[in-house]
Amino acid sequence: MRVVIAEDDALLREGLAMLLASEDIEVAAAVDNAADLLGALAAHAPDALLVDVRLPPDFRDEGLRAAVEARTRVPGLPVLVLSSYVEDSSAAELLQDGAGGVGYLLKQRVGKVNEFVDALRRVAGGGTVIDPEVIAQLLVRRRANDPLHRLTPREREVLGLMAEGHSNTGIAERLVISDGAVNKYIRNIFSKLDLPPSESGHRRVLAVLAYLKA
Amino acid sequence: MSVVDVRTRFLASCRATRYLVTDLGLGLLALITFAAVTAAAALTPTGVGLAAVPPLTSWTRRLASRQRRRAAALLGTPVPERYQPLEGALSRRVRTALSDPAAYRDVAWLFVHGVAGTAAGYLALALPLFAVNAFTVPLWWQAVPGTSLLGYSIDSWPAALSGIVIGLGYALLSLLVPVPLAKATARLSRVLLRPPKQAQLAAVSAARAAALEAHELELKRIERDLHDETQNRLVAVLMNLGMLERALAEAPEPAQRLAVRAHEAASDALTNLRKVVRTIHPPVLTERGLDGAIAALAASSPVSCAIAVDDFPRLPAAVETAAYFAVAEALTNLAKHSGATSAQVRLRTETEFLVVEVEDDGRGGAGARPGGGLAGIDRRVAALGGRTMLISPPGGPTVVRVELPCGL
């Protein structure tokens, strides 16, 4: 796997490069601003991007903007975005095109080295990984007209785990239930959220998107 | 009147009498201060008078503030206070004190309350004493014949016994008079001590708007420093510790344990740092605006909470942050202590002030503890030139009112 890193903090950028190298992930380029990120995208055609939300010059959401732009240039390009703080609208924005291959994690998750690398691999494989803290925040902010009210608590729990990027088997292990039961919950979620029958990976992304936008 | 009725009236009258006696004390102080102010004005040509202006102003403000709080508590409605801060060199303080329209209204209040408050207090104090005096005339008139407070000389038993009737009259008066009298003096103080509308308009604005903008930039700079510098360093430390932990997989157990512990400590530090940054400027404000952020607070409050947010443009970040935390703190407090079943949050702009009110239907009688949450809010609000009021008569309702200059 070949990755381009965009992170303005030198220490962190080099640390990330070293970490990925030790995992046999090739770092095609490590840049410190949004323009160079788009340049490296054209030059190296990486398999995935690892991007800090805040980049120079204004340290607002230049990284996020660049990631969205990169995905319009290369549809479905896997992008894992790292953020200093939780902002659920950012995650929703990335998922907007419905193509999957998107991750949104708090920066400090890189400390759990194995889990972080695992998350990057899942995103590169087209999966969706949303930080548990985003999920927690969304749960306390439910509004009255929320379509997710149609879901049972258990179904919401399953949807939350889907958003964190767990596979059906992973969800089954966490909740100590059978794969078949997980499948049933997920079918219920799809039908309650009126998601059209199509290839299931795509529907999974749409379900997570509904969850984030509610 | 039933027994219960008399008892309630008696207690209310006792409270009002106590209020009026304090009015008497404050009235005497006001008269002395008014005399000092007059003397200072007369001495102005010598320069001595000018030097006395700042201390006299501070003292007058203290008296007036005290009276505002008392009147607000008695009437159950806030009496706003608005002073220009006395700061800097003596000449600057003198100029500020003399240019503050509130100063002249305060001096007028000194005189009016000095006369009216003293008279009302004297009356409230005298009525029960007269009652006791008249009641007890039959007991002592023979010992000191000819003297009495009744206005006629007591020289026979019938005259002495008439004292009982007059005593009853005084007792009735001291039961009925103090409550309306206390309200009257409180209203008089409120009229004189609240800032006139045009003063609210004229104050500050331009300078304050600039100060708020500078403050906002400063907040954003601190927030950015913490996120982009401190947090990145800590994340780098955390990542290195993560790799170290992995490298130590084969190492002896104590080394592994140390690495895990260091990892946990750094992780905690990061979580705390994010919390701190949130209190400087909560991201929810940027995401949803003040009304959205307030709605989120109301939705997560355990007490059922209605909100009324007027339409106004985005305010300076520092003002929105202070308003947000004031509401958060007030909602937390009322959920914990008031026993309220419902609450109301109101936000509106009055001239160039943002007014935030949180009202609950709880038991009232709340006081601000030093070092408590409300004191923290007050510090934050005062730093922006605003003020915080807690109006909580026993039995409720409790209102926390915050006024913030918003540079509009």
pLDDT tens digits, B277-317: 877 777 677 767 888 888 878 877 778 888 888 888 878 88
A182, pLDDT greater than 80: yes
Q: How many residues does chain A have?
A: 214
Which site among B224, B232, B281 would you substitute to test the A interface, given the most A Cβ atoms closer than 10 Å to its Cβ?
B232
Residues of A in contact with B299 (CB under 8 A): 141, 143
Q: Do A111 and B299 touch (CB under 8 A)?
A: no
Q: State whether residue A86 sits within 8 Å of chain B by CB.
A: yes
Helix (H, G, I), strand (E, B) or coil at B405: strand
How many other CB atoms are there within 10 angstroms of residue B245's CB atom? Answer: 21
ipTM confidence: 0.75
CA separation for the pair B130, B167 (Å, rounded): 7
The model's pTM is: 0.54
DSSP string computed for A111-171? GSHHHHHHHHHHHHTT-EEE-HHHHHHHHHT--TT-GGGGS-HHHHHHHHHHHTT--HHHH
Cβ contact A9–B238 (<8 Å)? no
B236/A107 CB distance under 8 A:
no
Amino acid at A39: G
Confidence of residue A124 (pLDDT cuts 50, 70, 90): very high
Residues B257-281 have pLDDT tens digits of 888 888 988 898 888 888 888 777 7
> Chain-wide mean pLDDT for chain B?
83
CB distance A114–B246 less than 8 Å?
Answer: yes
Q: What is the predicted pLDDT for the residue at A143?
A: 47
The model's confidence at residue B63, banded by pLDDT at 50, 70 and 90, is very high
Q: What is the mean pLDDT of residues A145-171?
A: 82
Question: Is B235 in contact with A143 (Cβ distance < 8 A)?
Answer: no
pLDDT digits (tens, 9 = 90+) for B329-365: 898 888 888 888 889 999 998 877 899 999 999 888 8
Q: Which residue has the tokens 């379509």?
A: A147
B397 phi-psi bin (left φ>0, alpha ψ -120 to 50, beta other) = beta
More confident residue, A118 or B1: A118
Any long-range contacts for B134-138 (C-beta under 8 Å, 24+ apart)? B134/B163, B134/B164, B134/B166, B134/B167, B134/B170, B135/B163, B135/B164, B135/B167, B135/B168, B135/B171, B136/B163, B136/B167, B137/B163, B137/B164, B137/B167, B138/B163, B138/B164
Please enumerate residues of B whose Cβ is less than 8 A from a Cβ of A: 224, 227-228, 231-236, 238-243, 245-246, 263, 266-267, 270-271, 274, 277-278, 283, 287, 296, 299-300
Per mean pLDDT, which of A38-47, B109-118, B271-280 is the most reliable? A38-47
A116 within 8 A of A138, measured Cβ to Cβ: no
User: What residues of A are in contact with residue B245 (Cβ under 8 Å)?
Assistant: 113
Distance set, CA A163 to CA A110, A155, A160, B43 (Å):
18, 12, 5, 78
